[in-house]
Amino acid sequence: MREMKSGINTARSLQYTNFLMRLEQANLSFFNTKSGLLQANIWSELDSGCWKTAQFKIHETNTLNGVLNRANMVSLLPDFVPLEAGQRWNHLEKRIEEKLLQPKLLKSGLEDFLCKSKAFFEKFHNKHIAVQLSGGVDSSLIIGLLKFFGIKHSLIGYYNRRYEFRTESYIQNILADDCGDAILINYEDHLPYSGLLNAPPHQYPDMTCCGLSANQAMASACHDAGIEILLTGCGGDLALGEKIDNEKCMWIPAIFNYSWFQDVVYTPNKVTLVSFFSDTDILECLWNLRMGQKFDPKKIWARNFFQSFLPRELVEYTYKADFWGLYIDGLVNSLPEIRFIHKRAYEFSENSYFEDAKLHRMLQSDLYNCDQQLYQRLEARISSAVWINSLASHSCS
């Protein structure tokens, strides 16, 4: 097992900011409400200063509504509606349409699931595959399946020595030792909200940018190790834990692939981020396997059904570490940088949304109180400021 030390990414991020001057965000397009046309990007409009019309309060409301409700989000740019992977513009109804999973009712069993999983992995034949090792059920299942099929793979994950993560660390160590080819990055060096000044210019604010540093470190480590496909367990909470009934399926496979990180961080490092649970065949199979099940947040069904692919500990126990400690420390440590970015956003935009007093008022709250709404509102504000900074630093007028 190799451990990555801090600062591994700094050189790379500095190196590629120039190259990213006009980053191609393949997973993002725009509908121009004035012309009624779709646009692959809005770089020239941003250059002409359309970002100055942004209404940041809207971004805050969108963030509070959550990613599952993204089709109902209102654009913060009056003339452009962002369309992310899995979305299209409905010209008749003049609204965003989400590509939902439309599962057929089938009789499924473990054999079917294994068949679909094998077909999924075969898509990456001859590629260097790695799995994002978290120590939880979702990624452990992917690792168990790869082992079952005898498919060569590496593991790459974040580690930390925090008390609440001792159960995750335990599983990480078991799987890393078993695999023999594992890279572990110290999460303490890349806490949430850190390194935001390194954000490459992007066309639309996205609150996932708060995890930029950790993803840059992972993308860079993947690049250095020659990893081409990075499999994640993102979406497992929904696919293995959500209530399933006969009503319409509301799963949006595209949201499991973190398109912002793909475009901004992984693509420049020649890495493709793929969630196992974004595969529609696998999702359809799981939907049918779990038909009629209630909300199962501990994934009891999955732990039992897939027990032969999981470490014993994950079958018998249901511990799951809470990330609040990392978020609190990340925010508190990054306050000087956040204040700086916020101040610069005000200087560049002269938008009253970024007045010092507004951030100051939010930061007066108890940041140690695990208040989700406060953190979401802060993330919306931070991601807006990061967006302005990234554009302004690369001379969008």
Residues of the shown chain interacting with another protein in the complex, contacts defined by CB under 8 A: 163-164, 166-167, 170, 298, 313, 316-319, 321-322, 324-325, 328-329, 332, 368-370
Q: Which residues of 254-285 are buried (b: 16+ CB within 10 A; e: fewer)?
A: bbbbbbbbbbbbbbbbebbbbbbbbbeebbbb
Contact indicator for 231, 129 with CB cutoff of 8 Å: yes
Q: How far is the CB of 1 from another protein (least distance, A)?
A: 19
Q: How far is the CB of 323 from another protein (least distance, A)?
A: 10
Closest C-alpha among 178, 110, 165, 179 to residue 136? 165
Q: Identify which of residues 159 and 348 has a Cβ nearer to another protein in the complex.
A: 159
Q: Identify which of residues 97 and 313 has a Cβ nearer to another protein in the complex.
A: 313
Plot region of 191 (φ>0 → left; ψ -120 to 50 → alpha; else → beta): beta
Q: Identify which of residues 86 and 135 has a Cβ nearer to another protein in the complex.
A: 135
CA distances from 109 to 114, 244, 284, 293, 304 (A): 9, 16, 12, 15, 14
Q: Give the chain's end-to-end CA distance (angstroms, integer).
A: 47
Beta bridge partners of 199: none
Q: How far is the CB of 298 from another protein (least distance, A)?
A: 8
Q: Give the span between the Cα atoms of 264 and 307, in whole angstroms.
A: 37
Q: Identify which of residues 19 and 317 has a Cβ nearer to another protein in the complex.
A: 317
Q: How far is the CB of 316 from another protein (least distance, A)?
A: 8
Q: Identify which of residues 47 and 329 has a Cβ nearer to another protein in the complex.
A: 329
Q: Identify which of residues 11 and 335 has a Cβ nearer to another protein in the complex.
A: 335
Q: How far is the CB of 171 from another protein (least distance, A)?
A: 9
Stated as kind and residue range, the H or E segment containing 174 is helix 166-179
Q: Give the span between the Cα atoms of 245 and 242, in whole angstroms.
A: 10
Q: Identify which of residues 319 and 340 has a Cβ nearer to another protein in the complex.
A: 319
Q: How far is the CB of 277 from another protein (least distance, A)?
A: 23
Q: How far is the CB of 339 from another protein (least distance, A)?
A: 20
User: What residue ranges in the chain does DSSP mark as E strands?
Assistant: 2-4, 28-32, 37-39, 80-84, 87-90, 95-98, 129-132, 154-159, 182-186, 229-232, 272-275
Q: How far is the CB of 332 from another protein (least distance, A)?
A: 8
Mapped onto helix, strand or coil, the DSSP state of residue 161 is: coil
Q: Give the span between the Cα atoms of 397 and 50, in whole angstroms.
A: 9
Q: Identify which of residues 187 and 251 has a Cβ nearer to another protein in the complex.
A: 187
| Beta strand pairing call for 37-39 and 28-32 | antiparallel
Contact indicator for 287, 225 with CB cutoff of 8 Å: no
Q: Give the span between the Cα atoms of 169 and 331, in whole angstroms.
A: 23
Q: Identify which of residues 16 and 324 has a Cβ nearer to another protein in the complex.
A: 324
Q: How far is the CB of 164 from another protein (least distance, A)?
A: 4
